[in-house]
Amino acid sequence: MKKTIAFFFVVLTSGIVSAQNNASSDSKLRFGFKVAPSLAWLKPDVKGFESGGSKMGFIYGLMMDYNFSKNYAFSTGLEISYRGGKLKYVYDYSSGNTIHTYSGDDTYNIKYLELPLTIKMKTNEIGYMTYFGQFGFQPGFKISAKEDFTESKTNPSGVPDVAARSDVNADVSSVNISLLFALGLEYRVSGNTAIMASLQFSNGFTDVLTGTNYLDNSTELKAISNYFSLNIGVFF
pLDDT band at 89 (very low <50, low <70, confident <90, very high): confident
Among residues 201, 206, 208, the alpha carbon closest in space to that of 180 is found at: 201
Q: Which is more confidently placed, 155 or 131? A: 131
Distance CA 152, CA 163 (A): 7
Domain span holding position 160: 2-235
Mean pLDDT of the chain: 83
To the nearest whole percent, how much of the chain has pLDDT over 70? Answer: 74
Q: Residue 231: what pLDDT?
A: 98
pLDDT(12) > 80: no
Residue 215: pLDDT over 60: no
Among 86, 85, 139, 140, which Cα is nearest to 112's? 140
- Indicate the DSSP class of residue 21: H
CB-based contact 52:84 (threshold 8 Å): no
Number of domains in the chain: 1
- Average pLDDT (31-44) is 96
CB neighbour burial string for 94-126, b if at least 16 within 10 angstroms, e if fewer? eeeeeeeebbbebbbbbbbbbbbebebebeeee
Report residue 100: phi and psi, to 5°. Answer: -100, 140
Say what the pLDDT of residue 178 is: 97
Helix, strand, coil in percent for the chain, rounding step 5: 10, 70, 20
Q: Which residues of 19-30 are buried (b: 16+ CB within 10 A; e: fewer)?
A: beeeeeeeeebb
Residue 220, pLDDT > 70, answer yes
Q: 111-131: per-residue pLDDT in tens?
A: 999 999 999 999 999 999 999
CATH number at residue 185: 2.40.160.20
Q: Given pLDDT bands bounded at 50, 70 and 90, which one contains residue 13?
A: very low
pTM of the model: 0.78
CA angle 126, 131, 137 (to 5 degrees): 155
Listed residue (206, 138, 203) closest to 173, CA to CA: 206
Of residues 66 and 51, the one with the higher pLDDT is 66
